[in-house]
Each structure stands twice: as C-alpha cells, then as structure tokens.
Amino acid sequence: MQRTNWRNEDDAVLLVPIFETGRRFYIVVTVLGLLVLWGVVSYAVQWHLGLGVTGMNYPVSWAFYIINFVFFIGISHAGTLISAILRLSQAEWRRPVTRIAEVITVLVLGIGGMNILIDLGRPDRLLNLFLYGRYQSPLLWDATSITAYLTASSVYLYIPMIPDIAILRDRVVGGWRKLLYQVLALGWVGTARQHRVLNVAIAMMAVLVVPVAVSVHTVVSFVFSMTVQPMWHSTIFGPYFVVGAIFSGTAMLLVIMAILRKAFHLKDYLQPIHFNYLGLIMLVMVLLWVYFTFAEYLTTYYGNEPDEMRVFSSKFSGKYAPVFWAMVLFNFVIPFPILALNRTRTITGTVIASISIIIGMWLERLVIIVPTLANPRLHQYAQGSYLPSIVEIGIMVGSCALFALFYVLFSKLFPIVSISEVREGRQETMRIIQDRARRYEPGLGRLPASE
Amino acid sequence: MNAQPAPLAPESPWVFRLQLALLIGFTLFAASIIGWIARLIYVSWIWHDVFSASIGIALVAVPVFLFLLFTFNYVFWGVLRGGHEESHRPSPVERP
C-alpha cells in the first residue's frame, strides 16, 4: 500500500495507527486471537455435548450467557446514546469522544446478541424461532429492538465517518484499501451540498437513536419483569436497566478512552477535561443507580411477601450475599468518593472508578438473574444453585476478547477519533460558543457578531 | 498546514457498482426485517394468538426500519450527487 506524504498534516497522529503497523499490533492481535480461539473451542465442545457441559441446571436455566447478554447490551449504551445526547445538547467537547463511543455500541451489540445464540440448547433449530416465533413474547421484542438499535447505530457510526473515509481514500494510492475507501466515501469531496446532506442526516439520526436506545434496554428488562418470578416482576425494571446500562456504558467508554490515549498517543485529543466531564456524568449515574436499587429492594422488603423474601434473603445474607455486597462495593463504595471529589476525578481516578463499575455492573446482572431462578415461586418443586463451568468461562473470555479484537481491527482501518469533526471544531467552536452565549447572556447581544 | 492530498483518480465503474451493491444490500436487509415482522403478525392472526400485541410492537419497529432506509438512501444519493454537481466548488469548510 503506497501513501501520499501524510506525516506533515495536522492530525497526522490520528492516521499513524492506520498507516503504520508496529510489532505491538501483531502481539495484541495474536493474544486476542488465542483468547477468541479458546472461546470458539469452548463453544465447539458445548455444540457437540450440549448444554450439560455448562453449570446451568434446573431451575437455574439462565446464567453466564444471559448475564453477559444483558451486560453487553448495557455497555452498548456507552456509544450511540451518549454520542447522540452530546450532539443534541451541542456539547463542543464531544468531538474526540463520539467515534470511540459509537464503535463500542456497534461491536458489543453484535457480541451481546451472539450470547443469546450461544445460550440456545438446540442452535440447529434457530430458523424455527424466526419462522414461527410468537411476537407477543418479550424475547422477540428483544430480537426486534436489538436489530433496530444495531442497524441504527451502524448507520449512525457510518454517516459521520464519510468525510474521514474520504481523507483516507485521498491518501492511500493503491490496494484493496483504496477500493474499500472509494466505495465507502461515496464520492465525498466536501462540497456545501454534501455537508448539508450529512448534517441533516446526522441530526435526524441523533434524534432517532435516543428513543431506540432507551427502548432496547427497557425491552431487555421486560424479559425479566414480564414474568411473575420473585424480584423480577417489577414496574421500575425498565428505567432501572436503562440507568444501569448508561452507568456501565460510560465506565467502559472511559476505560477504552484511557487505553487509546496511551496506545495511540492521543493526549492532545483526549484531555483530562474529557475524563472529568464523563466522570461527572458517571457520578450522576452512581447516585441514580443507588436510588433505583434502594427503591427496588426497600419495596420488596416492606412488602414482605414470602416468595420475594426468599430471594431477598439469599441476596442480603444468604448464598449470594458475597456477590451482592461485592456489587455494592464496586458500584458505590469505591467509585462514589473517587468521582465526587475534584481532586480524585483525574484520568487515573476515573479509570479506577470505571473498572470498579464494570465489575460491579456485571455482578449486578448476576445478582438479578441467578438468585431469582435458584429460588423460584414454586420452590417446593425445585431449588437450585449455580457455579459456572470452564466452558462458560471460556466463552465469556472469548466474547470479551472478540470485542477487543474487533476494536483493534477497526482502529487499524478507520480513524478512531473523528478527524473531520476535530477540524471542524478547531474552526467553528469559538464562534458556536460565542453565538450561543449571545442568545442567553444579558449584555452579550450588544457585542459585534463573530465571523 | 495540510499537505496537498494526491489528486483524485477517476473512479472506476466498479466503485459505483459496489456502492450500489451496498445500497441494495442495506435495502434488502431492512425489507427482510419488515417482511419478517409482517409474517409474525400474519402467523399470530391466523392462529388467534394475541394479534393486538404483535401489532403494537410492529407499529414501533416497522417505522424505525423505514426511517433508517430513508436516511440511508438520502445520504447515499445526496452525497453522491453533491459530489458530482459541485465537485469544482468546495465549501468554506475545509476540504478533507
């Protein structure tokens, strides 16, 4: 692949990962590839021997795969939703963050959906689900809303990327990449009409993806709350899941931003203020999560309904108490003080809080799913417990590695920070902010209009 | 300052064919999802299986896919035509 002399350009650092391949790239891809292979082998074992090789049993028939499904779908809220909200609210600091976030959404949605397929005991009968599915089942609502969100997120990722793809097309001289960029750039040359079309489309998509994203995790919660299982049949599960999703999604976004900042030398683009602002968003989400958790558990406790209390006790002081209290530790006790104090809301601080929240939110999904199934309403007939098998652990590790691998490969093909948006911001931000301030600050209206 | 990028080579007809294939692929995907939803509604109707719930969900899902189809087509043709018609008149915003 030949290239024009891109090194002297502004933002050349954003093109380095695409045009230069170091030894570190191959090491990372090999390690991730091996982990994915572990997952593939684990699934091959499960395919061959059936779900008996997992730790799932009767009545705990949903476990690691469904936990991962809910967790990954939650993580997906990092991207498109946050990006769309920041665009709609005209937060100028969003520019280097949006692409990083949108890629997360597209990748984890695919991997989350894959976990549902992995959970199928008879994957060879998958087609029957599509041909004869019952559309009043929340499981099919899930399939529909996740497909809609994945499609919308892919379009929302692609449209703002067109000018950046054109930048790559103009700099790559030959090879398959040239063809790829030529096709995807759609003949972009940056005319006024093209900018107008793109801006209108981005604005329309930003409006669309917010309700779609909210609906996705609400519908994921319906899979549980539409049943009459103890501690699942709750009216606040929809918003509770949405809050948890944005919470864990923001945490994942911060961790990935920190990794990219270090690996791709993006210190000028991902500044401490980005981590500070996202840390503040996460602080709000910590408090909202605590509020919803408190409301949910207090209602159950006060109601004192025997079947509900059996699940409640197993979480508070029974078999699942270590997991429950670890969840509280990771989701509140560790991150809250770090995020609440200006002094600790640094890059390191927000990353520590984010890692804690990612662990805590995965545990939260486990605490929601497993104790209820282990203590069902008809407990006279079945009570159970659950420990994951090595096959499930292998598939989980493989799923996480697949996400990381796809992310690395994406950053090898496309700029992970939007070059065109950053350039536009460099030219336009001051004017936009001044014009906006002029509209609401008394006295500023008398100042001469900016260029 | 930015270095001047390499002049654009005239794109081969294959590029447009592949772009068209991209559009057709997306259209077929969205159409098949809508078709699938319609089939599930039909199945619930002939089996008297809570037809109303199926309609309720479809009323949300189908417009979303139609909107995505419209937006993708709008961007596809808008950007392509914008490039052809005004390729000699770059906008005030920096050309990539």
DSSP string, A95-126: TTTHHHHHHHHHHHHHHHHHHHHHH-S-GGGH
Residue A172's DSSP bridge partners are A3
Region B4-27: what's the mean pLDDT?
78
Best probe of the B interface among A141, A194, A195, by most B CBs < 10 A, is A194
DSSP character at residue A361 = H
Question: In the structure, what pLDDT confidence band is assigned to residue B89 with cuts at 50, 70 and 90?
Answer: low
Instruction: Say yes or no for a CB contact (<8 Å) between A155 and B11.
Output: no
Phi-psi region at B50: left, alpha or beta (left = phi > 0; alpha = psi -120 to 50)? left
Q: What is the residue whose two structure tokens read 């497993």?
A: A370
For residue B90, being part of any structural domain is answered with: no
Query: A416 vs chain B: nearest CA distance in angstroms?
Result: 16
Chains A, B: CB pairs < 8 Å: 163
pLDDT score, position B69: 95
Q: Tell me how far apart the alpha carbons of residues A1 and A366 are, in angstroms, rounded to a whole number.
A: 47
Helices (H), A304-418: 306-316, 321-328, 335-340, 347-374, 390-413
For residue B58, being part of any structural domain is answered with: yes
A238 contacts A225 by C-beta, under 8 angstroms: yes
Q: With a CB-CB cutoff of 8 Å, which residues 15-44 of chain B face chain A?
A: 15, 18-19, 22, 29-30, 33, 36-37, 39-41, 43-44
Region A161-170: what's the mean pLDDT?
94
Which residue in the set A145, A159, A182 is minimally distant from B15, CB to CB? A182
Q: Tell me how far apart the alpha carbons of residues A350 and A396 are, in angstroms, rounded to a whole number.
A: 25
Q: Tell me how far apart the alpha carbons of residues A78 and A100 are, in angstroms, rounded to a whole number.
A: 10
A74 contacts A248 by C-beta, under 8 angstroms: yes
Which residue in the set A133, A151, A187 is minimally distant from B80, CB to CB? A187
Return the structure tokens found at A252. Answer: 């994942």
Query: A20 vs chain B: nearest CA distance in angstroms?
Result: 18
Question: In the structure, what pLDDT confidence band is assigned to residue A64 with cuts at 50, 70 and 90?
Answer: very high
Q: What is the residue whose two structure tokens read 């999703």?
A: A245
Phi, psi of A172 (to 5 degrees): -90, 130
Which residue in the set A6, A164, A173 is minimally distant from B3, CB to CB? A6
A80 contacts A152 by C-beta, under 8 angstroms: yes
Query: B86 vs chain A: nearest CA distance in angstroms?
Result: 6
Instruction: Say yes or no for a CB contact (<8 Å) between B79 and A187.
Output: yes
pLDDT score, position A92: 84
Q: Tell me how far apart the alpha carbons of residues A285 and A330 are, in angstroms, rounded to a whole number.
A: 14
Nearest to A259 by CA among A429, A65, A32: A32
pLDDT score, position B10: 56
DSSP string, A200-248: HHHHHHHHHHHHHHHHHHHHHHHHHHTS--TTT--TTHHHHHHHHHHHH
A369 contacts A62 by C-beta, under 8 angstroms: yes
Hey, is the C-beta of B3 within 8 angstroms of any chain A C-beta? yes
B69 contacts B27 by C-beta, under 8 angstroms: yes
Among A46-55, A344-353, B37-46, the least confident range: B37-46
pLDDT score, position A384: 82
User: Which chain A residues are within 8 Å of B82, Cβ to Cβ?
Assistant: 191, 193-194, 196-197
Would you mind telling me the total number of residues written for chain A in this entry? 451
User: Which chain A residues are within 8 Å of B96, Cβ to Cβ?
Assistant: 163-164, 166-167, 170, 188, 190, 419-420
For residue B7, being part of any structural domain is answered with: no
Return the structure tokens found at A315. Answer: 């979480």
For residue A115, pLDDT over 70 is answered with yes
Closest-CA residue of chain B to A162 = B79
Instruction: Say yes or no for a CB contact (<8 Å) between B11 and A133.
Output: no
Amino acid in the structure at residue A305: E
Q: Which residue has the higher pLDDT, B83 or A107?
A: A107
Question: In the structure, what pLDDT confidence band is assigned to residue B8 with cuts at 50, 70 and 90?
Answer: very low
Closest-CA residue of chain A to B93 = A424
Q: Which residues contact B46 (CB under 8 A, 6 or more apart)?
A: none
Nearest to A249 by CA among A337, A173, A149, A346: A149
Region A101-122: what's the mean pLDDT?
92
Phi, psi of A416 (to 5 degrees): -85, -15
- By the 10 Å C-beta count (0-12 exposed, 13-18 middle, 19+ buried), A362 is classed as buried
Return the structure tokens found at A194. Answer: 């093209």
For residue B40, being part of any structural domain is answered with: yes
For residue B44, being part of any structural domain is answered with: yes
Region A276-295: what's the mean pLDDT?
96
For residue B77, being part of any structural domain is answered with: yes
- The CA-based dihedral angle spanning residues A405, A411, A412, A415, taken in that order and rounded to the nearest 10 degrees: 170
Region A306-319: what's the mean pLDDT?
94
Q: Which residues contact A291 (CB under 8 A, 6 or more apart)?
A: none
A399 contacts A111 by C-beta, under 8 angstroms: yes
pLDDT score, position B4: 44
Say what the pTM is. Answer: 0.90
pLDDT score, position B2: 42
Return the structure tokens found at A98. Answer: 């949006």
Phi, psi of A3 (to 5 degrees): -135, 155
Q: Tell me how far apart the alpha carbons of residues A46 and A424 are, in angstroms, rounded to a whole number.
A: 51
For residue B87, being part of any structural domain is answered with: no
If one counts the domains in chain B, the total is 1
Three-state SS annotation for B11-63 = CCHHHHHHHHHHHHHHHHHHHHHHHHHHHHHHHHHHCCCCHHHHHHHHHHHHH
Domain encompassing residue B63: 23-81
Region A201-218: what's the mean pLDDT?
91
Q: Tell me how far apart the alpha carbons of residues B86 and A169 are, in angstroms, rounded to a whole number.
A: 19
Which structural domains are found in chain A, ordered by start? 56-386+414-444 (1.20.1630.10)
A160 preceded by cis ω (within 30°)?
no
pLDDT, tens digit (0-9, with 9 covering 90-100), for A395-414: 999 999 999 999 999 999 99
Instruction: Locate the DSSP E strands across A64-173.
Output: none
Region A68-88: what's the mean pLDDT?
87
Instruction: Say yes or no for a CB contact (<8 Å) between A189 and B95.
Output: yes
A87 contacts A202 by C-beta, under 8 angstroms: yes
Q: What distance, in Å, lies between the first and last C-alpha atoms of chain B?
A: 12
Return the structure tokens found at A62. Answer: 């949903």
Residue A29, number of CB atoms within 10 A of its CB: 16
For residue B6, being part of any structural domain is answered with: no
pLDDT score, position A424: 86
Question: Average pLDDT over chain B, rounded to whole?
Answer: 80
User: Which chain A residues are within 8 Å of B11, Cβ to Cβ?
Assistant: 182, 187
Query: B47 vs chain A: nearest CA distance in angstroms?
Result: 10
pLDDT score, position B1: 37
Among A137-151, A434-448, B39-53, the least confident range: A434-448
B23 contacts B72 by C-beta, under 8 angstroms: yes
For residue A445, pLDDT over 70 is answered with no
Q: Tell me how far apart the alpha carbons of residues A112 and A143 are, in angstroms, rounded to a whole number.
A: 11
Return the structure tokens found at A36. Answer: 């994915």
